[in-house]
Structure 1
Amino acid sequence: MLGLVSLAWAEQESPVETDEATGVTAELARLVGSEEQRIQAFYALRDFRPAWQDVDAVAALTSALHTLESDGLRPADYRPDELRARHRAVNEQQGSPAEQAQYDLFATRMLLTAMAHLQRGKVDPKSLDTGWEVPVADPDFSLAAVSSAVDRQRFETLFSEVRPDFVPYERLRSGLARYRNIERLGGWPRLPERERSLRLGDVSDDVVLLRERLAVIGELEVMAADTDAFPGVELEAPDPRRFDSRLEAAVKRFQRRHLLEPDGIVGRQTRAALNVPVERRIDQIRLNMERARWLLHGLPDAFVLVDIAGYRLSYFRPDGEVWRSRVVVGLPYRRTPSLRSEITHMTVNPTWTIPPTIRRNDVLPQIRRDLGYLERENISVLSPSGVRLDPREIDWSNPGNVVLRQGAGPQNALGRLAIRFPNDHLVYLHDTPAQGLFAREQRAFSSGCIRVENIRELAQLLFDDTNSGHDIEARIASGRTQEVSLARRMPVVIHYWTVNPGEDGELSFRPDIYERDDELLRALDRPLAL
């Protein structure tokens, strides 16, 4: 939404029209009916007065459109060169009022399209993911303020006010500028492919390349600047060919930022991450800025954000604090969906009705091998109406539509707690008896739902922050299965980020576990048809 300064511009008087402009005004009133609603509203607010007769206004617009490269968009989509050329041609040939009106509509279309893309994204996420559940909102900006800004040639101000106003987006934007500068300086060296890993104590020319690679992105600078953060690490001038403790610590930091096992050894996976070209990293930043434009608008002060590819949950609390935890997400063939919803209630000591896919692919094969599996896992066999059945009387080669339900308890697949929110995919946040999985760096092991480390702490914070008046530990200790509502709903956003800006501004690049990046990049770079 445009700010008070912009709205103040809109209150000032419009420029006086010339006779020539009056003719163009009449043509605009005649032609604008075939344009989209936003353009019609824009000209109606101006009483159909033309916006682009001044060559300086066109020059300022085209200059501003080129700056959209800093947001990962393609300036060419908004035709800055064509805008200049067509304006020059219309004026040199003393174009008719109809030709001038057609040009005016074209320039306005380019400006409003650029603003819409900057605020909400160029690519429709539903075109890439049929299961997309985040509402796709229409652009939200004041056309009166846009009109006033056009008259005063304040295009960069317009862009700054529709750009997502969220710190992570600005960090991505800064990171894009930084990596583009690295590209201009020649990128970084590539490590030769070797069977043998590089590790502490090694002496070779490959170590020299490794130092250069980490120095380009500042990993070694961080080491030198913060001696307290790396106790016992050598910080004197190193032998460039020797893999010393300082270099090992820098490798571990790189590995943590790329969700690799932080062992300080440059093995196959770490070498592959080091050798990703800077051009590819730039593309990753750009496409994650597009994801941010889909999502980072209209967010309340308090909400829960699940970062699928980063295996993290962040709860932005009403008091400004942020509670964070590790999560386990869906396997690549059982993907956790992107969605936006609201947490309504929790199930304490839940039972688990085994979903059809897991029942068919995971549980039935176990039962067929050993009927004792049901007792060991506390699974009851029920009819569709809920009547308990004797598993010995079921033909497990063709069990029909029997229901399998795991009883509440510490070994239940949902643990002791499930946090619920409406969605078409039937996913939720939940506890788990498999706590050891949280120690892994990459944690795509679930069947689509999200397992949360320390979920009881999250639940209590949600109860406290919504004035719900519940004690989660007391509820669990009762042993009873019960539904407990929040007094006030809490927004939850589940989304997929393969680049994440840390609080220090450093970018973390994550594996594209669901292989979504390439398709989005192709869509983002596809020339815009207008």
Structure 2
Amino acid sequence: MLLGAGPLAWAEQEASGRGADAGGITGELVRQVAEQDPRMQDFYALRDYRPAWQDADAVAAFTSALHTLESDGLHPQDYCPDELRNRHRAVYEDGADVEAQAQYDLFATRQLLMALDHLQRGKVDPEALDTGWEVPVSPPEFSLATVSGAVDQQRFEALISEVRPGFVPYQRLRSGLARYRNIEKLGGWPRLPERQQALRPGDVDEDVPLLRERLAVIGELEILIADNDVFPGGELVAPDPRRYDASLEAAVKRFQRRHLLEADGIVGRQTLAALNVPVERRIDQIRLNMERARWLLHGLPESFVLVDIAGYRLSYYRPDGQIWRSRIVVGRPYRRTPSLRSEITHLTVNPTWTIPPTIKREDVLPKVRQDLGYLWRERIQVLSPSGTPLDPWEIDWDNPGNIVLRQAPGPQNALGQLVIRFPNDHMVYLHDTPAQDLFSREQRAFSSGCIRVENIRELGQLLLDDTHSDHDVEGRIDSGETQNVRLANRMPIIIHYWTVNPGEDGELSFRPDIYERDDDLLRALDRPLVL
């Protein structure tokens, strides 16, 4: 392009050497692209404003490739494959003018870029569903030059594969989606009848064969020829298929663990409800959790801390390739732990705890009004907003005003003896806790939003060691002093909500939707796009 010449003037100059047809569509594209968003402008500028979709074979290859998005839980029809084919025939076979041809070219390109966007970073805007969403990191932009080349070479399936998230959990979810869809095609699994009494190991019951079939469908139980019972005389007899035997008990316990249920082998109300969730619902769960993965798990660093809210666990992916895992306690449904992405900056040993306003109002003040001795037992100091100590006996606890309640450091502090901190707008952090018994529960939504971590001292020391920070956590705690210990290098942390998690063996774990977020996301994911 000549220096100082606009795109339309340049296109006209190019057209003079190409013939009327090429110049017409090129000039018309320049005119229409000028009204498009910057990325569309960049795409066509890379192509010297050549049309991308004149070839019917290219459109056919593109629309065929769109159907592969079904394996990612997206709806191919969102990207108008039928309209793309029909409009191409109408524009090129019926001899439409260059204005219509250029309009079609822009339409097809928008569908391609939108499909790639949705595949890479998600169809649904997470902030529209969750006002607490805090993820400042955006996925990297895919190369428009690569997209343009793929269009010219009709390499659409390869392009989709290149843009598709490459992290292992996403690939496992994708494989799981294919597996559960195959189960659906084969008829799904049987529904167990509602029961008044729980089904227990050792029972002989008419529902046992159905339970065995249900677990066999998803691979929890292999249907084998069982060892025959032997009478004293040596006669072989087939076992009673209605007997709830040890192999079935082991399969039920595996199922319960994968659904965060108490692994007692008893098919009670909760286990029966989980068994009777239809395969179609499980497919939807996998799809919407693939969408969550597209939102967040992009550009992962080599080392990071991953907090799985609905799964009640924390995984630290260390620089040496090892993974440190721990159980966690997260926020109650009415005090939800937020989804966010940040970086751990420092630890606080022997922390004080300034009681947040909501907890003060809803939890602490009612107890203080009943018994002022609660303050002394919990080692809570009453302060003015400027930090001046106040006499609790002089406070009108029915109308205490703008006071600050702060718990002294020590083993009984609500934060325990260690806090791991990272900047965020929600004032949440990882911390120790004196309530260690909560970690033994299968479902652990008991906190006020922050995340309690089992064995957090070990995690704190690993973070210091792996970031080349020369500090001893235990020694700092033993000092009894409240201290901030900075990491020499920040450590990324991701806190997110998954109700389906793929294990390293590829098996999917389905979790209760403790924050009731799945249905809203599914409706948004399935909502047709408005063009």
Normalising by the smaller structure, the TM-score range is: over 0.9
Q: Name the SS for the 2:491 alignment partner.
A: strand
CA shift, 1:17, in A, is 7.2
Residues 18-47 of structure 1: CA deviation (Å, up to 9, x unaligned): 863442222111111122221111111001
Are 1:418 and 2:410 an aligned pair?
no
Q: Name the SS for the 2:316 alignment partner.
A: strand
In the superposition, relative to structure 1, how do residues 237 and 193 fare at CA in structure 2: closer, same or farther (>3 Å)? same
Are 1:96 and 2:97 an aligned pair?
yes
Q: Name the SS for the 2:367 alignment partner.
A: helix
Task: Show the counterpart of 2:358.
Answer: 357
Q: In structure 2, what is the Cα distance between the partners aligned to 1:138 and 1:413?
A: 37
Q: In structure 1, what is the Cα distance between the partners aligned to 2:67 and 2:59?
A: 13
Q: Which amino acid aligns with 1:490?
A: M
Matches within 5 A, 1:75-474: 75-135=76-136, 137=138, 140-221=141-222, 239-474=240-475
Q: In structure 2, what is the Cα distance between the partners aligned to 1:485 and 1:99?
A: 62
Task: Show the counterpart of 2:234.
Answer: none
Q: In structure 2, what is the Cα distance between the partners aligned to 1:114 and 1:449?
A: 36
CA contact (8 A) 1:301 1:318 kept: yes
- Give the superposed CA RMSD: 1.7
Task: Show the counterpart of 2:519.
Answer: 518
Q: In structure 2, what is the Cα distance between the partners aligned to 1:362 and 1:261?
A: 29
Residues 145-199 of structure 1: CA deviation (Å, up to 9, x unaligned): 1101111111111111111110000000000000001111111000001111111
Task: Show the counterpart of 1:43.
Answer: 44
Q: Which amino acid aligns with 1:471?
A: D
Q: In structure 1, what is the Cα distance between the partners aligned to 2:383 and 2:256?
A: 48
Residues 58-78 of structure 1: CA deviation (Å, up to 9, x unaligned): 111001001100000010100
Q: Name the SS for the 2:345 alignment partner.
A: strand
Q: Which amino acid aligns with 1:79?
A: C
In the superposition, relative to structure 1, how do residues 529 and 344 fare at CA in structure 2: closer, same or farther (>3 Å)? same
CA shift, 1:387, in A, is 1.5
Q: In structure 1, what is the Cα distance between the partners aligned to 2:23 and 2:168?
A: 45
CA contact (8 A) 1:120 1:139 kept: no
Residues 266-304 of structure 1: CA deviation (Å, up to 9, x unaligned): 000000000001000000000000000000111111111
Matches within 5 A, 1:61-80: 61-80=62-81
CA contact (8 A) 2:137 2:341 kept: no
Identity %: 79
Q: In structure 2, what is the Cα distance between the partners aligned to 1:46 and 1:55?
A: 19
In the superposition, relative to structure 1, how do residues 318 and 450 fare at CA in structure 2: closer, same or farther (>3 Å)? same
Q: Which amino acid aligns with 1:51?
A: A
Q: Which amino acid aligns with 1:144?
A: A
CA contact (8 A) 2:417 2:432 kept: yes
Task: Show the counterpart of 1:232.
Answer: none
Q: In structure 1, what is the Cα distance between the partners aligned to 2:20 and 2:281?
A: 54
Q: In structure 2, what is the Cα distance between the partners aligned to 1:44 and 1:385?
A: 60
CA contact (8 A) 1:22 1:49 kept: no
In the superposition, relative to structure 1, how do residues 243 and 186 fare at CA in structure 2: closer, same or farther (>3 Å)? same
Q: Name the SS for the 1:204 alignment partner.
A: coil
In the superposition, relative to structure 1, how do residues 78 and 447 fare at CA in structure 2: closer, same or farther (>3 Å)? same
Matches within 5 A, 1:494-505: 494-505=495-506
CA contact (8 A) 2:351 2:419 kept: yes
CA contact (8 A) 1:55 1:87 kept: yes
Worse-superposed segment, 196-205 or 112-121: 196-205
CA shift, 1:237, in A, is 8.0
In the superposition, relative to structure 1, how do residues 195 and 483 fare at CA in structure 2: closer, same or farther (>3 Å)? same
Q: Name the SS for the 2:114 alignment partner.
A: helix
CA contact (8 A) 1:62 1:83 kept: yes
Q: Name the SS for the 2:34 alignment partner.
A: helix
| TM-score, length basis structure 2 | 0.93
CA shift, 1:137, in A, is 2.2
Q: Which amino acid aligns with 2:55?
A: D
Q: In structure 1, what is the Cα distance between the partners aligned to 2:239 and 2:502?
A: 30
Q: Radius of gyration: which is bigger?
A: 2
CA shift, 1:238, in A, is 5.6
Q: Name the SS for the 1:219 alignment partner.
A: coil
Task: Show the counterpart of 1:10.
Answer: none
Q: In structure 1, what is the Cα distance between the partners aligned to 2:177 and 2:95?
A: 43
CA shift, 1:239, in A, is 3.7
CA shift, 1:388, in A, is 1.4
Q: In structure 1, what is the Cα distance between the partners aligned to 2:294 and 2:419?
A: 30
Q: Which amino acid aligns with 2:426?
A: H
Task: Show the counterpart of 2:479.
Answer: 478
Q: Which amino acid aligns with 1:523?
A: A
CA contact (8 A) 1:238 1:244 kept: no
Q: Name the SS for the 1:305 alignment partner.
A: strand
Q: Which amino acid aligns with 2:250?
A: A
Q: In structure 2, what is the Cα distance between the partners aligned to 1:148 and 1:37?
A: 19
| TM-score, length basis structure 1 | 0.93
Gaps of 5+ in 1: 1-15, 226-235
